[in-house]
Each structure stands twice: as C-alpha cells, then as structure tokens.
C-alpha cells in the first residue's frame, strides 16, 4: 500500500475558456489564460492510497462518498496516469528490476475543498489538478507539468492551468488527438508580486447550469460566440504582453472586457444562461465608478466572473485596502447573502 497527499490551487481566468471542439478529449474552441491564486486559503487537498486489497476505485469528496462509476472524467485521469506507470513497470520488469505493480492496484481518493464546491469558484480546476498531481506522485511519474496538464485537461478543462503557479496559458492546440492542447506558464508567481486578487463570495450556492452543459449550449445556439472566437486570439497576445510588462492598465481592461463578453455569450445562449446576479452587477458598477474616480484616469481595479455570481477583483496591492473598504461599505452586513474574503497573493501551482 502507498499513500500520497498533495494540494492544488484555484486559478481564475482573465481570458475565459468557454466551448469545446471535442467533448470527449476536452479540447477547447479558444486559448485561455489565468492567474493561479495562493494555495494558502483556496485549495483542494487530495490524499490517494493504492492497495492490492482494495476492491475498486472509490472517492470521498468533502467527507462524503461519491458514486464514481459513471464519472468518465475521473476515469480518464486514472486511465492515463496508470498507462504511463504501466510503461515504467514494464520497462523495469524487462530490465529485471523490482518494482511495485501500482498500476494494477485500485485506489481510494479522499479530496476536500476548503471553500464552496461548484459555486463558480473553480473547485473543479483545483480538484482535478490535485487528483492528477497526486496520482503522478503516487505512481512516481515524471513531473513534466505540461505533460500532466494534458491529463488534467481530460478531467476538467480549466484544471490543466492549476498545475502551474503564476500566469498560465492553455494553448488550445490543433491536433485532433489533443496532443498539443496543454498548459504553459507565461510568467512565474514571482513575476508580478504587486498584483493581488480579492475573492468576493456573493453566494456559495451550487450553480444552476454546470459549465459543461452551459458551454455546449452556447456553442450550439449563440451566434455571438462566433464573434468571440474572432476576438480571443488578439486578446491572448495583448494579455501576455500586458502581463510581461506588468501593465495593469491593459491587464485590467482586457480582463473586464473578456469577462463581460463571456457573460454576453451566456445571455446570447438560447435559453439564456444567467450566472451573474444583482450583487455581481453592483460590484461591476462599483469598480467602474472607482476607476472613473482615478486622478490620472488609469484603471485601479478589474473584476472578473466565472460560471457563477462571485466576483474576483484583481488590483495592485496598494489599492486593495481601499477596495475592501468600498466593498464593505456598499455591500455591508452579514445578514445579506454575500460576504467577502481576504486578499490573496499570487503563488505557486500544485504542491506535495
Ligand atoms: O473547466 P470547467 O469545465 O469547469 O470550465 C470553466 C470555465 C470558466 O471557469 C467559466 C472559464 C475558465 O477559463 O476557467
């Protein structure tokens, strides 16, 4: 029996992934780019043990056992990591070296998120990244993160970006087999220490439309989506440039525009998908007002929203105090259905 525990962080996209060209292999219709948040507060922690005696693969999520018999995405991750391990075992056997046949053992997976699950806070990204990273450590696989990201992608698309810290692009790739659809680090977590993220938990309820269902409905019904696909390549280049130059003005505007366009294609989906609520829109207005009040006219903060109402606000560190005070002032009290959390720095990717 062998047991390993790892954690993986959440990543929040500033150029959103929305739409698959291959739903089996999870190949996206556009490149995307995200910022990996600190592991300290938002993370998935996963323990996996492999033992000959186990009767089958099992999963406990946040303390409750889940039926994984129909969970194809999890099985994709088991299959892919076991195949690489098996090749290592075969090689060792051929060379006459002893090796434990871990690839043949069933596994027990215990995973917990220290934040609301499936509420649009990227729990699938950190969860599936933690699963693949822990399996890789359990099976002693070579830890080429881009290689592992191709496997994590088949668990949950956005999970591929959580294997790296810092600023991470998911290159959509061209190949039909997905061999070039992987995550790459644009800049490490040490690159832009002045940039911080504030997570405003507007609601911790589970989202109504899953991203899997939502994005396919968008692809099938939204004429606006074709326009989005023309815009994203230029945005990706501009975003990489902004990050490398630590140009918050461009980073912030691109981030807000991309979030707005993503929610516009959700509204253009038929029937429409609503992820934002009145509080989310209130926070958007507040950030625009805050930026309008900037003495030099420069953007001081940028919001972005995933498939849920919760806001993530990116801003230079020196503005964060003011932003937290503003949010606390305009969205006060614990009686309402929102509260906000502390600031998180930008830190590393999956860790042992
Ligand atoms: O990886 P999924 O299937 O949970 O999709 C995530 C999609 C968004 O969070 C809305 C955008 C993104 O790029 O993370």
**Residue 272: which CATH number?**
3.30.70.890
Q: Are residues 56 and 99 in the same domain?
A: yes
ipTM: 0.99
Q: What confidence score (pLDDT) does residue 340 get?
A: 37
Ligand 1 midpoint to CA 52 (Å): 36
24, 158, 215: which to mutate for ligand 1, most atoms within 8 A of CB? 158
Residue 66 lies in a domain: yes
Ligand 1 midpoint to CA 218 (Å): 13
Mean pLDDT value across residues 39-48: 87
CA 19, CA 6: separation in Å to the nearest integer? 29
Which ligand 1 atom minimizes the distance to the CA of 32? 13
Q: Which of 187, 218, 238 is the last residue of a domain?
A: 187
Q: Are residues 173 and 235 in the same domain?
A: no
Q: Are residues 202 and 153 in the same domain?
A: no
90 vs 346, residue with greater confidence:
90
Q: What confidence score (pLDDT) does residue 118 get?
A: 57
Ligand 1 midpoint to CA 253 (Å): 20
Q: Are residues 30 and 173 in the same domain?
A: yes
198 vs 352, residue with greater confidence:
198
CA 213, CA 205: separation in Å to the nearest integer? 18
Q: Are residues 74 and 218 in the same domain?
A: no
Supply angle C-alpha 219, 222, 223, rounded to 5. 115
Number of domains, the chain: 2
Residue 249 lies in a domain: yes
Compute the mean pLDDT over every residue in the chain, rounded to the nearest whole number.
90
Residue 283 lies in a domain: yes
Q: For 281-284, which contacts have Cβ atoms below 8 Å and span 24 or more sequence positions?
A: 282/330, 282/331, 283/200, 283/202, 283/311, 283/313, 283/327, 283/331, 284/311
pLDDT at residue 338 tops 50 = no
Q: What confidence score (pLDDT) does residue 325 get?
A: 87
342 vs 71, residue with greater confidence:
71
Q: Are residues 313 and 200 in the same domain?
A: yes
Chain mean position to CA 283: 22
Look up the domain containing 314 and give its range.
Answer: 195-344
Contact 305, 275 (CB under 8 A): yes
Residue 222 lies in a domain: yes
pLDDT at residue 337 tops 50 = no
**Residue 64: which CATH number?**
3.30.230.10
Which ligand 1 atom minimizes the distance to the CA of 124? 4
Ligand 1 midpoint to CA 157 (Å): 7
Q: What confidence score (pLDDT) does residue 303 get?
A: 97
Residue 21 lies in a domain: yes
Q: Bridge-partner residues for 64, per DSSP?
A: 61
Q: Are residues 201 and 322 in the same domain?
A: yes
pLDDT at residue 234 tops 90 = yes
pLDDT at residue 334 tops 60 = no
Residue 10 lies in a domain: yes
Q: Are residues 90 and 166 in the same domain?
A: yes
Q: Are residues 112 and 143 in the same domain?
A: yes
Q: Which of 139, 162, 187 is the last residue of a domain?
A: 187
Q: Are residues 182 and 199 in the same domain?
A: no
Ligand 1 midpoint to CA 164 (Å): 16
Q: What confidence score (pLDDT) does residue 310 get?
A: 87
211, 215, 269, 273: which to mutate for ligand 1, most atoms within 8 A of CB? 211
Mean pLDDT value across residues 84-108: 97
**Both tokens assigned to 6:** 């790892």
Q: Which of 187, 218, 250 is the last residue of a domain?
A: 187
Q: Is residue 271 reached through a cis peptide bond, with omega within 30 degrees of 0 on the bond before it?
A: yes
Q: What confidence score (pLDDT) does residue 133 get?
A: 95
**In which band, very low, low, confident or very high, does the pLDDT at 40 lie, cut at 50, 70 and 90?**
confident
pLDDT at residue 43 tops 80 = yes
Q: What confidence score (pLDDT) does residue 205 get?
A: 73
């Amino acid at each position: 029996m062998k047991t390993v525990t790892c954690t993986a962080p959440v990543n929040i996209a500033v150029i959103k992934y929305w739409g698959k060209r291959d739903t089996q292999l999870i190949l996206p219709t556009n490149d995307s780019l995200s910022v990996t948040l600190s592991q300290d507060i938002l993370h998935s922690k996963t323990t996996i043990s492999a033992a000959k005696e186990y009767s089958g693969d099992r999963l406990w999520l946040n303390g409750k056992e889940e039926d994984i018999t129909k969970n194809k995405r999890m099985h994709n991750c088991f299959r892919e990591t076991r195949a690489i391990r098996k090749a290592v075992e075969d090689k060792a056997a051929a060379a006459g070296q002893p090796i434990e046949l871990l690839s043949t053992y069933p596994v027990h997976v215990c995973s917990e998120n220290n934040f609301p699950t499936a509420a649009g806070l990227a729990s699938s990204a950190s969860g599936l990244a933690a699963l693949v990273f822990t399996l890789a450590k359990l099976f002693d696989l070579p830890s080429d993160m881009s290689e592992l990201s191709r496997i994590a992608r088949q668990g949950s698309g956005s999970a591929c970006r959580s294997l790296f810290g810092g600023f991470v692009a998911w290159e959509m790739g061209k190949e039909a087999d997905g061999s070039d659809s992987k995550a790459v680090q644009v800049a490490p977590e040490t690159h832009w220490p002045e940039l911080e993220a504030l997570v405003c938990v507007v609601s911790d309820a589970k989202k109504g439309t899953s991203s899997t269902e939502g994005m396919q409905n968008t692809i099938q019904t939204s004429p606006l989506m074709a326009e989005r696909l023309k815009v994203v390549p230029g945005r990706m280049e501009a975003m990489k440039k902004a990050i490398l130059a630590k140009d918050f003005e461009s980073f912030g505007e691109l981030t807000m525009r991309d979030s707005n366009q993503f929610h516009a294609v959700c509204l253009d989906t038929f029937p429409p998908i609503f992820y934002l609520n009145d509080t989310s829109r209130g926070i958007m207005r507040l950030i625009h007002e805050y930026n309008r009040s900037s003495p030099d006219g420069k953007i001081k903060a940028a919001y972005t929203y995933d498939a849920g109402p919760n806001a993530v606000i990116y801003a230079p560190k020196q503005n964060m105090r003011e932003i937290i005070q503003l949010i606390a002032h305009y969205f006060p009290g614990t009686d309402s259905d929102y509260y906000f959390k502390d600031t998180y720095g930008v830190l590393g990717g999956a860790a042992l």
